[in-house]
Amino acid sequence: MSELNSTSIARRASAVLTAGLISAVVLGAALGVVWWKLAPRVTVIVKSGETWPANYQPDEDLGADVAFGALALLAGLGLTIALIYMRREHLLSTLASSVLSGFVGALLMWFVGTRLGSVDIAGLSGTEEVTVTAPLQLTLPAMIMIWPLTAAVVISIVAAADWFSAARKRNQADDTFSI
For residue 106, give the nearest of 143, 137, 135, 81 by alpha carbon: 143
What CA–CA distance (Å, rounded) separates 20 from 14? 10
Q: Starting at the earlier edge strand, list the strands of the sheet with 43-47.
A: 50-53, 43-47, 130-133
CA angle centred on 19, ends 22 and 115, rounded to 5°: 20
Q: What is the pLDDT of residue 62?
A: 87
pLDDT digits (tens, 9 = 90+) for 39-72: 888 777 777 666 666 776 677 778 899 999 999 9
DSSP states of 115-166? HHT---SGGG-SSS-EEEEPPP--SSGGGGGHHHHHHHHHHHHHHHHHHHHH
Q: Is the pTM of this model over 0.85?
A: no
pLDDT digits (tens, 9 = 90+) for 81-138: 998 888 777 788 888 999 999 999 999 999 999 999 887 766 666 667 777 777 888 9
